[in-house]
Chain A
């Protein structure tokens, strides 16, 4: 009875995940979709706690489970509530890492369980003084070992494969997410060295070879324990933890050299990794809700990752091997640049106030300065003066896809004002002034003109087609990808240095005086 109800609950859970994702993909229903999925998750968790049975036995250790749920729940709610809008990407990355770690831990426990369960047929000999009895026992043992082997051949290797997959993917996702988190909040710098590709490949090879050896050896070793005790398991365990360590190392090495424009791709990819790791758990426990949830996220995340790669004209392989570090990029920008010119606040205010059409290009600078409200104020002010104001959103502006949309939505900027890249590029030639707020790589013409540039081929917002470009930056330092931007040195571009929020507020004040 209980287990049939549980199956039904899992079915409902799976359906809510599908519905939730579907609703999340439409602006009107997104919030409800999130709640639907959350409700399904709650139901599935409660159902598991109270109704799950294995070989007719209910779960135990309720005290521990409840305590862990409460601790995790409190930490989760607190950190999710407190985090600032700008820090959202790294928060998501951190949560993702937690999921990965959870999957890896499950694998560790299940591995120990697996080898000891397999070795469960062991019988202690030697206590018996009676020779005859001992012989009898020994022949019985070899029989046991044979039957065990028969069961094992179909059993252990398959389970081990799943356990290893969950372990490796979970560990890579955990370590990678922590590094991505550190990078986004600035505590970990881009880091790459010569031969890093080779090291990455070597570490990955160790992981794969270790996994294969484990799978090939497990039946034999576990069977051997039935005869000569647990000593044979030590080797397996050492190898297993070696695979775990190398997976963690790979996660670190894999994210460490990746910088700038690639970070959204990395988070999305790790997100789908964790999905697959969760699905491994589904296989392990024959649990359909883990399977659907995990695989859905895995495939959806992969598609999202590929879409993002396409937006930057890079192959996933290239991102994975991780060559887009700072070193190469600086070399590309080495040639001498011309002079740039600055524009005063009052001039900028006049230019904007007398334009017919202004397009604002927000970037990470806007997010850092928390300038979304100031930006919306400026937009309203200009609209009152009869200026048409729109926002051009590059798919990878900021640190995550849709980052800018979320920020601007927070400041009540209406949807209709946000243009996607292609629409924006169509409107730019008819635009009088473009205001670039802390965006850099996404408006860098080198992506079109300079085949030597690391971002060559990435679609950009073609702001240089507008009549005039005002760029707000804190300094002339290159953007996150570490590349010089020709745009800043073009005759129609003027620079307006300063913190985006302050500059926008001052601009708004100036515009009020222009009549």
Chain B
């Protein structure tokens, strides 16, 4: 119990961010017209690609002889980049079609 409390205490700022972000996410999406559901899902998909930052940190911290970390980190950066870049490009392609339609 004590450990849990001290864990919460140590990370209280992060926990605040989490809770506020949850409400923010709900608030932002609950007013979306169904027209935009697919692009929005795709855009959100690109945003969670932010996980790539973790992958970069893993890579950058790995000792040069720690092959497991290097190989896995390398893979993780590649996959994360595909997620981010592909996600934003696909979303942009979808939204390109909407451009200028609403006069």
Interface residues of A (CB under 8 A from B): 13, 17-18, 20-22, 24-28, 30-31, 33-35, 37-38, 41, 44-45, 48-49, 52, 54, 58-62, 64-65, 67-69, 71-73, 75-77, 79-81, 83, 88-89, 91-92, 95-96, 98-99, 101-103, 105-106, 108-110, 112-113, 153-154, 157-158, 267-268, 271, 274-275, 277-279, 281-304, 393, 395, 400-403, 405-406, 409-410, 412, 414-415, 418, 420
Contact = CB atoms under 8 A, between A and B. Distances in A.
Contacts of B45: 92, 95-96, 99, 271, 274, 297
Contacts of A81: 89, 93
B28 to A, nearest CB: 5
Interface residues of B, number: 83
A105 B55 CA distance: 8
Q: Is the interface of B mostly helix, strand, loop or mixed?
A: helix
Contacts of B98: 27, 30-31, 409
A283 B37 contact: no
A89 B49 CA distance: 17
Contact of B59 (A33, A68, A277, A401): A68
23 contacts: A24-B40, A34-B95, A41-B46, A59-B60, A60-B64, A61-B60, A69-B81, A72-B80, A72-B81, A72-B85, A76-B82, A88-B38, A98-B80, A99-B51, A99-B79, A99-B83, A102-B83, A105-B76, A109-B73, A158-B10, A275-B48, A301-B44, A400-B38
Nearest to A273: B48
Contacts of A288: 14, 17
Contacts of A412: 101
A278 to B, nearest CB: 4
A31 B46 CA distance: 14
Given A102-B80, A105-B79, A48 B48 contact: no
Given A34-B91, A283-B14, A25 B36 contact: yes
A267 B50 CA distance: 19
Contact of B77 (A21, A65, A279): A65
A78 B5 CA distance: 48
A286 B14 contact: yes
B80 to A, nearest CB: 4
A402 B26 contact: no
A44 B79 contact: no
B79 to A, nearest CB: 4
Interface of B: 3, 6-7, 10-11, 14, 17-18, 21-26, 28-62, 64, 68-70, 72-99, 101-102
B90 A83 contact: yes
A23 to B, nearest CB: 9
A281 B54 contact: yes
B41 A301 contact: yes
Given A54-B61, A106-B58, A401 B37 contact: yes
Contact of A76 (B6, B70, B83): B83
A38 B87 CA distance: 9
Contacts of B99: 31
Contact of A283 (B11, B43, B91): B11
Per CB-CB distance, the 9 closest pairs between chain A and chain B, nearest first, are: A59-B60, A72-B81, A299-B25, A76-B85, A76-B86, A402-B37, A281-B54, A68-B77, A293-B50
Contact of B38 (A52, A59, A406): A406
